[in-house]
Amino acid sequence: MAKKTNVLVIGSGIAGLTFAIKAAQKHSVTLITKRNLAESNSNYSQGGIAAVISQDDSVQSHVQDTLIAGAGLCRQKVVEEICSRGPRLIHELQKWGVKFSLSTKGEKHFELGLEGGHSHRRILHAGDITGKEIENSLCRRARLHKDITILENHAAIDLITKKRVGHGSGADLCLGAYVLDVHNQSVKKFLADYVILATGGAGKVYLYTTNPDIATGDGLAMSFRAGVPVENLEFVQFHPTCLYHPDAKSFLISEAVRGEGGNLLLKSGKRFMPNHHALAELAPRDIVARAIDYELKKSGEECVYLDISHRGAGFVKKRFPNLYKTCLEFGYDMSGAPLPVVPAAHYFCGGVKVEVDGQTLIPNLFVLGEAASTGLHGANRLASNSLLEGLVMAELCVKKINSLDKHKKSTFYRNIPDWNPGNARDPDEQVIIEQNWDEIRRFMWNYVGIVRTDKRLERALRRIELLKQEIQDYYWNFRITADLIELRNLALVAELVVKCALKRKESRGLHFTLDHPSANIASLPKDSVITP
């Protein structure tokens, strides 16, 4: 039995929830998410959201900072569009119940933070749990909306398109998705006029990441299998400062700590960032991450240290209450001593090739947020621009489908087949999934990490081609599980990252290769595009 809806949203971060809330004013919306509603990359964002609020700041300055960070690969019109819409959307979030931190100047004054690459204080935050505060407000609003149906613990498997189900010739069209109900292990068929993928990034393709376990590149993989190109996946942002502790699971230490005066130190206690960049600790993330990687390789040490204790215990506890509490649980008092930190995979600047409103090459299929590549981030994302991008894309996508809806009839097709499990049997060797997952993450970290070479990339590609075949054989022989869906997607994303990296014969932004250490603007295509 098919489940029909006007709009199917897959993913529940800031982009997916904002889109669902706004689209539900005119459409019936079904939102599916593979864990609980609040579990998303957005929920773990500590630092904040960038927008021009101060009278001392300007949209043009925000645009310029973004372009500089993007190392020549941003699409300027996209940057201008997104930065200019920020201030109004911040006030809209306030109306929706988001409580941003306020300064001592009064209720109308935001407490604005400063982060690497920004020339002004423009980071709005809610203490140091900004993502959680935004996510909770959006979840409450979505749950109360009568035209939004929320289905948790539902994992999307693949998109349904005209070409996939053999309906007619001509241009392809997205019709819906096959989705696994994780609780009862049944596959459902969802049909929709519009499908919105807001599935987040793919940090779990790396051994060390700031991302939660759900970040497995599902939207990237599903779009590519459906025939949509991806681009610039070589630009993986490694966050410079994650807590180094065996039980911390790469707990993120916000960039705002450096923005508020935190210094990076060697084990000896000596600062090293002034030797790497004029902005020192406030240099863009790619530079800071590479500097740490360089110093660790040179010294043989396992970590460097981030010290903000000189700001005093009162300031640290007030500005970073969640960070302070969590670090204390791991045995570190950040108000009195430096924190051990290492870089970890954090954010994908590339993704599914889309317009700024999320439209892909397949009609009625849209991709929003981190899974998308609009050209905002270029070769390196400016800190705290990600939540802003999700908000703006969601609004523009709603505007787009509203305009399309005036000129279209229902796109539902008859005789779309149900999911066919074939002769698949229940899986009896979970160790195969765990082993392949672990192997992918390890060779991606070692061969496709902060610093790369052609030889390492080629080695990674050979490994992923073998593993993909193993996973594909397993996929068709055993019944679908959530773990198998994620492993299949991660394997494809790993392959696409490596292929994009091999295409870029230069070092730029987040892609640094010892074989091609200089930028080569004249002879290279601007974007690394991989077409299915």
- Count H helices, E strands: the chain? 14, 17
The position carrying tokens 């645009």 is: 63
* Pairing status of strand 148-151 against strand 29-32: parallel
How far is residue 494's CA from residue 530's CA, in Å, rounded to a whole number? 13
Catalytic machinery residues: 285
| Torsion sign, CA atoms 325, 327, 332, 335 | negative
Task: Annotate 191-217 with DSSP letters as a single string.
Answer: EEEEEEE-----GGGSSSBSS-TT-S-
Task: Annotate 57-107 with DSSP letters as a single string.
Answer: --HHHHHHHHHHHTTT-S-HHHHHHHHHHHHHHHHHHHHTT----B-TT-T
- In eight-state DSSP terms, residue 157 is E
The position carrying tokens 């900004």 is: 130
* Long-range contacts (CB closer than 8 Å, 24 or more residues apart) made by 279-282: 279/116, 279/117, 281/116, 282/114, 282/115, 282/116, 282/117, 282/258
Residues 6+ apart with CB under 8 A from 169: none
Structure tokens at 49: 């959201």
| Torsion sign, CA atoms 193, 199, 202, 204 | negative
* Pairing status of strand 49-50 against strand 29-32: unpaired
Exposed/middle/buried for residue 160 (C-beta within 10 Å: 0-12, 13-18, 19+): buried
- For 329, list phi and psi in degrees, rounded to 5: -65, -25
How far is residue 519's CA from residue 236's CA, in Å, rounded to a whole number? 17
